[in-house]
């Protein structure tokens, strides 16, 4: 056994060792701090050198001014915009993107729907040889070709429907020094599947004719995005094969993660990123609990449409083709002229409906979410989601079809409990389907945080409260209700589900709701639970799903997929937490009235702001302007509405028997 003296000596030596280690730790920490600060410096410098230039109104102009008008091509670009497109004022980020692509930089441009992305490659195309445009749908390509033809610009497409003679002519033009057309449109499938086309593109590049490659809806390349298309993955080959041709990727919706992934897939790690602000001040965002019955929901929606938007244009997004028909019939019965528009209609019939909507013969178009990719009606006063969107990206894009004319418009979403499970069984087979839907549910379930802040933080945009300026239901008229402790209800719901598992009975969301209300075989005996209004019980169930206290369990039958509920992975933690949920207090009627009032006030605010902006001439003008009558003439042509496009592939995902309409093995319609 060690003597006391030995122990004292050992203590001395341990203490000395410890203080020596502590000194080393302090040194290392200090070094880590220095390295961290150096790391930040290097990152800033790399960002600066790559010229990643993100726009926000507070940014001002960064070191390199991409909106300068003294580039070598600036005066030709200005003339082209004016003479060919009738454009004398550019919108946010258009000039920056055009200058960057004309400088041969690879660019990713993120701009909201209707922001004017197409112009960013169409105008530069007229200053060079050939621009190859990769676009996801033939219908979108056709829309663009018609618009360009109206402007007297020669463009072509190569698709599976092109005749042998057309293909021959286009192939000749691709290598000709004096090519007639400046833009060639193809679908991504042409790149991935046609070796013959790729060989010709190689020749076009070698002849020095391939000035630029524009890739529309570029987020489709990323599996993290909402619209992943496998054929977009192959587009990385374009940079490998044609390293000196700049790429311009365009999208309306891309989170930071999707943008990074897209850059990687396209082999353009050093591309510049231009982001125009996502905020559209003229849109009022609102979410409303959907009445349980179909008739109740129609009545509520008709009341809002008739009182706020009488004889004005709107879109009502529905869950499926069948649902479009039902909603449209019901609205007509309520005296609102409407028609449905979906994939199961004949082309001609669909075209007629679209035309009569454009000409204001009907007010409301009831469409599946596929409708409207490329749509260009500027005076849409409301976009109502009668069904949940499948992701925030989709919702932002769909609701963004309102108010393109800058005048006030409403984006209203009816949040229905049953719709959650209809949608989850649809998206569960998609790579990130359930994750995306969860984000959408968080948007709907929220009643305390500004709607815009939820939307824009999703896209990684910085957010300040002034950006909303009370133009969403939460900021203007919060109906958040009180945060109520719901642990007791959660525990009871989990115990009902545990009983159901024991008795080999499966419960859907609707059945669980019934049990909570004291009905059915597994009914609760808890008096407080039974007394909870159905709307509140629904909120508790969604809260539990979002917190993983519950989970969905999908079962396949020959005809459909069913979502059952089970205790979730965190159910055992319930006893340790005090779960709180904001439960709504107001009735349907009160909430409709307050929405009407809020929107009316909002309209006044926007009109006032628009008046002030006009008075101070905030828009950026290009230097030389044509006479106003000239500009009007060309602008009329430019905005001629020829769009009649539809994304059938997406639309059909909402039907029980999916039809994927492809007109050949290598093109999407």
Contact in structure between 398 and 424 (CB atoms under 8 Å): no
Closest contact distance (angstroms) between CB of 281 and ligand ADP is: 17
* Nearer to ligand ADP (CB atom), residue 214 or residue 426: 214
CA distances from residue 30 to 16, 19, 42, 161 in whole angstroms, order as listed: 21, 16, 18, 67
Distance separating alpha carbons of residues 460 and 463, to the nearest angstrom:
9
Residues in 536-565 at the binding interface with ligand ADP, rule: CB under 6 A: none
* Nearer to ligand ADP (CB atom), residue 133 or residue 221: 133
* Nearer to ligand ADP (CB atom), residue 117 or residue 280: 117
Closest contact distance (angstroms) between CB of 115 and ligand ADP is: 4
Residues in 338-397 at the binding interface with ligand ADP, rule: CB under 6 A: 376
CA distances from residue 623 to 70, 85, 557 in whole angstroms, order as listed: 11, 15, 65
Nearest of 136, 132, 268 to residue 209 by alpha carbon: 132
Alpha carbon of residue 650 to chain centroid:
14
Distance separating alpha carbons of residues 506 and 500, to the nearest angstrom:
6
Distance separating alpha carbons of residues 444 and 542, to the nearest angstrom:
10
Q: Is 649 helix (H, G, I), strand (E, B) or coil?
A: helix
Contact in structure between 402 and 380 (CB atoms under 8 Å): yes
Residues in 95-124 at the binding interface with ligand ADP, rule: CB under 6 A: 111, 113-119
* Nearer to ligand ADP (CB atom), residue 296 or residue 406: 406
With contacts defined by CB under 6 A, name the span among 82-90, 195-203, 517-525, 533-541 that binds ligand ADP: 82-90
* Nearer to ligand ADP (CB atom), residue 94 or residue 328: 94
* Nearer to ligand ADP (CB atom), residue 115 or residue 246: 115
- Helix ranges restricted to H, 617-662: 628-638, 648-651
Closest contact distance (angstroms) between CB of 132 and ligand ADP is: 17
Closest contact distance (angstroms) between CB of 605 and ligand ADP is: 24
Instruction: List the beta bridge partners of residue 553.
Output: 564
Instruction: List the beta bridge partners of residue 313.
Output: 380
Answer for which of 64, 84, 91, 547 binds ligand ADP (CB under 6 A) is 91
Closest contact distance (angstroms) between CB of 71 and ligand ADP is: 18
Token couple for 76: 């030709």
Closest contact distance (angstroms) between CB of 89 and ligand ADP is: 6
Distance separating alpha carbons of residues 83 and 177, to the nearest angstrom:
24
Closest contact distance (angstroms) between CB of 201 and ligand ADP is: 24
Closest contact distance (angstroms) between CB of 88 and ligand ADP is: 8
Closest contact distance (angstroms) between CB of 635 and ligand ADP is: 7
* Nearer to ligand ADP (CB atom), residue 154 or residue 169: 154
* Nearer to ligand ADP (CB atom), residue 184 or residue 565: 184
CA distances from residue 197 to 133, 232, 234, 338, 666 in whole angstroms, order as listed: 14, 16, 14, 44, 12
Closest contact distance (angstroms) between CB of 253 and ligand ADP is: 11
* Nearer to ligand ADP (CB atom), residue 115 or residue 416: 115
Closest contact distance (angstroms) between CB of 142 and ligand ADP is: 14
Residues in 202-241 at the binding interface with ligand ADP, rule: CB under 6 A: none
Closest contact distance (angstroms) between CB of 85 and ligand ADP is: 7
With contacts defined by CB under 6 A, name the span among 84-92, 327-335, 386-394, 654-662 that binds ligand ADP: 84-92
Strands (E), 194-294: 210-215, 247-251, 272-275, 283-289
Answer for which of 78, 82, 90, 549 binds ligand ADP (CB under 6 A) is 90
- Say how many residues touch ligand ADP, by CB under 6 A: 16
**Residue 194 CB coordination number (10 Å):** 17
Answer for which of 53, 54, 77, 87 binds ligand ADP (CB under 6 A) is 87
Distance separating alpha carbons of residues 368 and 552, to the nearest angstrom:
25
Enter the DSSP assignment of 66: T
String marking each residue 626-655 x if it binds ligand ADP according to CB under 6 A? ------------xx----------------
* Nearer to ligand ADP (CB atom), residue 87 or residue 669: 87
Closest contact distance (angstroms) between CB of 459 and ligand ADP is: 15
- Helix ranges restricted to H, 126-185: 138-150, 164-175
* Nearer to ligand ADP (CB atom), residue 249 or residue 416: 249
Distance separating alpha carbons of residues 555 and 563, to the nearest angstrom:
6
* Nearer to ligand ADP (CB atom), residue 91 or residue 523: 91
With contacts defined by CB under 6 A, name the span among 30-38, 85-93, 477-485, 506-514 that binds ligand ADP: 85-93
* Nearer to ligand ADP (CB atom), residue 248 or residue 420: 248
* Nearer to ligand ADP (CB atom), residue 131 or residue 320: 131
Closest contact distance (angstroms) between CB of 487 and ligand ADP is: 47
Token couple for 470: 């009370």
* Nearer to ligand ADP (CB atom), residue 304 or residue 402: 402
Task: Go through 355-382 and write b for each residue having 16 or more CB atoms within 10 A of its CB, e for each that does not.
Answer: eebbeeebbbbbbbbbbbbbbbbeebbb
Using alpha carbons only, give the angle 588, 590, 594 rounded to the nearest 5 degrees: 115
With contacts defined by CB under 6 A, name the span among 20-28, 53-61, 89-97, 379-387 that binds ligand ADP: 89-97
Contact in structure between 580 and 483 (CB atoms under 8 Å): yes
Instruction: List the beta bridge partners of residue 494.
Output: none
**Residue 518 CB coordination number (10 Å):** 14
Contact in structure between 373 and 140 (CB atoms under 8 Å): yes
Enter the DSSP assignment of 158: -
Q: Which residue is nearest to ligand ADP, using beta carbons?
A: 116
Closest contact distance (angstroms) between CB of 153 and ligand ADP is: 12
Distance separating alpha carbons of residues 220 and 233, to the nearest angstrom:
8
Distance separating alpha carbons of residues 405 and 378, to the nearest angstrom:
5
Closest contact distance (angstroms) between CB of 218 and ligand ADP is: 12
Looking up tokens 């003439």 gives 633
State the Rg of the chain over Cα. 29
* Nearer to ligand ADP (CB atom), residue 78 or residue 423: 78
Nearest of 373, 354, 370, 369 to residue 117 by alpha carbon: 373
With contacts defined by CB under 6 A, name the span among 45-53, 83-91, 259-267, 288-296 that binds ligand ADP: 83-91
Looking up tokens 């409407």 gives 338
* Nearer to ligand ADP (CB atom), residue 304 or residue 358: 358
String marking each residue 584-623 x if it binds ligand ADP according to CB under 6 A? ----------------------------------------
Contact in structure between 386 and 317 (CB atoms under 8 Å): yes
Closest contact distance (angstroms) between CB of 302 and ligand ADP is: 30
**Residue 332 CB coordination number (10 Å):** 15
Positions that interact with ligand ADP (CB under 6 A): 87, 89-91, 94, 111, 113-119, 376, 638-639
């Amino acid at each position: 056994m060690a003597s006391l003296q030995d122990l004292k000596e050992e203590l001395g030596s341990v203490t000395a060792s410890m203080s020596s280690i502590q000194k080393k730790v302090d040194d290392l920490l200090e070094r880590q701090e220095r390295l961290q600060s150096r790391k930040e410096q290097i990152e800033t410098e790399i960002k600066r050198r790559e010229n990643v230039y993100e726009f926000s109104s507070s940014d001002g102009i960064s070191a390199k001014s991409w909106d300068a008008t003294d580039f070598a091509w600036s005066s030709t670009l200005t003339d082209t915009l004016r003479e060919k497109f009738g454009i004398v004022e550019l919108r946010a980020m258009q000039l920056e993107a055009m200058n960057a692509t004309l400088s041969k930089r690879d660019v990713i441009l993120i701009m909201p729907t209707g922001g004017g992305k197409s112009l960013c490659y169409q105008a530069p195309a007229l200053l060079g040889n050939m621009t190859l445009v990769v676009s996801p749908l033939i219908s979108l390509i056709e829309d663009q070709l018609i618009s360009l033809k109206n402007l007297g610009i020669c463009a072509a497409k190569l698709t599976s429907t092109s005749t042998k003679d057309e293909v021959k002519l286009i192939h000749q033009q691709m290598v000709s020094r004096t090519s007639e057309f400046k833009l060639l449109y193809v679908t991504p499938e042409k790149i991935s599947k046609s070796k013959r086309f790729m060989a010709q593109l190689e020749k076009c590049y070698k002849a020095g004719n391939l000035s630029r490659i524009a890739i529309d809806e570029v987020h489709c390349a990323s599996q993290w995005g909402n619209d992943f298309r496998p054929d977009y993955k192959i587009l990385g080959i374009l940079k490998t094969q044609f390293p000196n041709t700049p790429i311009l990727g365009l999208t309306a919706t891309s989170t930071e993660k999707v943008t990074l992934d897209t850059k990687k897939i396209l082999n353009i790690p050093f591309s510049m990123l231009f982001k125009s602000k996502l905020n559209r001040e003229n849109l009022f965002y609102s979410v409303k609990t959907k009445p349980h019955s179909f008739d109740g929901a129609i009545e509520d929606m008709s009341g809002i449409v008739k009182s706020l938007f009488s004889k004005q244009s709107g879109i009502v997004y529905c869950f499926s083709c069948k649902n479009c028909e039902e909603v449209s019939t019901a609205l007509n019965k309520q005296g609102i002229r409407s028609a449905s528009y979906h994939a199961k209609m004949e082309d001609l019939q669909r075209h007629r409906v679209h035309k009569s909507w454009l000409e204001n013969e009907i007010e409301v178009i009831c469409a599946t979410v596929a409708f409207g990719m490329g749509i260009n009606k500027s005076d849409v006063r409301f976009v109502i989601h009668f069904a949940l969107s499948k992701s925030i990206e989709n919702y932002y894009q769909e609701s963004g079809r309102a108010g393109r004319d800058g005048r006030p418009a409403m984006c209203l979403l009816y949040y229905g409990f049953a719709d959650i499970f209809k949608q989850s069984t649809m998206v569960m087979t998609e790579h990130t389907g359930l994750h995306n839907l969860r984000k959408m549910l968080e948007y709907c379930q929220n009643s305390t945080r500004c709607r815009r802040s939820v939307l824009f933080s999703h896209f990684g945009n910085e957010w300040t409260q002034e950006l909303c300026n009370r133009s969403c239901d939460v900021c203007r008229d919060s109906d958040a209700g009180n945060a109520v402790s719901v642990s007791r209800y959660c525990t009871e719901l989990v115990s009902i589900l545990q009983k159901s598992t024991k008795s080999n009975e499966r419960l859907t969301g609707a059945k669980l709701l019934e049990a909570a209300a004291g009905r059915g075989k597994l009914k609760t005996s808890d008096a407080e639970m039974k007394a909870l209004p159905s709307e509140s019980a629904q909120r508790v169930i969604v809260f539990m799903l979002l917190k993983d206290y519950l989970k969905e369990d999908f079962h396949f039958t020959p005809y459909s997929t069913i979502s059952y509920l089970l205790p979730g992975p965190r159910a055992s933690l319930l006893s340790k937490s005090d779960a709180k949920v904001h439960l709504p207090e107001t009735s349907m009627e009160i909430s409709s009235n307050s929405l009407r009032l809020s929107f009316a006030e909002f309209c006044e605010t926007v009109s006032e702001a628009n008046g002030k902006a006009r008075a101070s001439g905030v828009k950026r003008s290009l230097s030389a302007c044509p006479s106003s009558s000239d500009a009007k003439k060309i602008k009329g042509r430019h905005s001629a509405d020829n769009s009649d496009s539809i994304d059938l592939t997406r639309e059909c995902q909402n039907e029980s028997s999916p039809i994927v309409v492809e007109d050949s093995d290598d093109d999407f319609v």
